[in-house]
Amino acid sequence: MKGCVLDVAVDIRKGSPTYGKHVAVELSEDNHRQFFVPRGFAHGFAVLSEIAVFQYKCDNFYAPQADGGICIKDESLGIDWRIPMDKALLSEKDIKHPCLEDFDSPFDYHVIYTLNLNKMNILVTGARAVGKRDTYHHPGSDDHYVFTDVNQVEGVETVFLDITDLEAVRVLVAERRIDVIVNCAAYTNVDAAESNEALAERLNAEAPENLAKAMKAVNGLLVQISTDYVFGKEPYNVPCQEDQQGTPTGVYGMTKLRGEQKIMTVGCKHVIIRTAWLYSEFGKNFCKTMMHLTATRPQLKVVFDQAGTPTYAYDLAKAIAAVLRDYATDIACAIYGKSGIYHYSNEGVCSWFDFTKMIAEYNGTTACDIRPCHSDEFPSPVKRPSYLVLDKTKIKETFGVRVPYWTESLKRCITNLKNNC
């Protein structure tokens, strides 16, 4: 450094107890002092020597579209610039800035602003659905994951979070400096939801709204896992597309659809992924149940008049990882151009009967006599459609996702289970 300057920082964080207050520090070639100006503070300086040369070290590139400032002549700031205003050499831009009382600050005291160089802090709700393997991590990524649930999950470092508590969500987002939320939490018992509508509404509709509000406040992304149950009332004979009107037949589907709608109403950056027939090595699911039943029963009846597509959770997680990689390149943008609804399941179509037959084959439990039956032999309070398949063209074309065939993924999952993954 050469010469001497008065460096000034003014707190412009809305809601700050020191809003409008300033700190002034003299920097010179003699005192060798440095001055750190955090985000949320306006910065200005006055040259006190005949000549001054000094450097800035910034945490990001200059963005002229985000340029702004406060009039240096604003007396309400109470800054002693050590130079009379009638003798100060001021640029036209500095004079034209508004006074503090007219300045609309983009900074909020209750939001922690972080530096992101394609490195993100990602909160995953519903850790029980994730299991022991970090399936979201991709090679070369320095992203940090925070897994949350209402209970401690074995094998996963779990942070307690009640997503129905908006303030709790906001606090955790601020404390952990969260850039993205992947919401895997939901009330998923389709039949039980018919008699627990209030709880299903809280978890499937109100909680996603909370997450959306928290993400909007920090300009973050919400990845919401939804379901094919948003469809079902209308008869289908071709795969459903994302822009088709939702026609749920039960409480579960209706509350999940309302969750989607609430997210879009809040207006945060969002990617909603509808999926179907989800299974994995972890938790309770159809694959693990049928592995057990075909191994312990001589005969088993399974419905053949409902067709859809199984989805291996690991493949879904890889699709989510593709979304996150894409978003990392646009994280600083105020608007994410790829916000919207997407469909993901594995490729192909089968019935629950076909699904079970392949489970038994890969599990080596073919001695069980598996027989097809009609849905009415297993009465349910929620009517399932005879054909419900999701069209995955949009997610494949938008994010470059490769979708495996359902039998390939099923074989991989059962192999992992047999090897005690």
- Report the run of H or E that residue 404 belongs to, with start and end: none
Chain-centroid distance of CA 334 in Å reads 15
Which is nearest to 40 in space by CA: 18, 72, 24? 18
The number of beta carbons lying within 10 Å of the beta carbon of residue 191 is 12
Rounded to a whole number, what is the distance in angstroms from the first to the last CA of the chain?
60
Q: If DSSP codes are grouped into helix, strand and coil, which group holds residue 288?
A: helix
DSSP assignment string, 50-114: SS-B-----SS---GGG-----TT-GGG----SS-TTT----HHHHHSPPGGG---S-BTTS---
Chain-centroid distance of CA 412 in Å reads 27
Q: Which residues pair with 22 in a beta bridge?
A: 10
Q: How far apart are CA 211 and CA 182, in angstroms?
A: 9
Residue type, 349: V
Q: How far apart are CA 357 and CA 353, in angstroms?
A: 6
- Which sign does the torsion angle of CA 112, 116, 118, 120 carry? negative
DSSP assignment string, 5-53: EEEEEEE--BT-TTTT-EEEEEEETTT-------TTEEEEEEE-SSS-B
Instruction: Decide if 381 contacts 362 (C-beta within 8 A).
Output: no
Based on C-alpha coordinates, what's the Rg of the chain?
A: 28
Q: Which of 229, 252, 279, 314 is catalytic?
A: 252
**Catalytic site residue 362?**
no
Q: What is the dihedral of CA 50, 56, 61, 67, to 10 degrees?
A: -50
Residue type, 274: R
Q: Which residue has the tokens 């992947």?
A: 182
Report, as residue numbers or ranges, the catalytic residues.
252
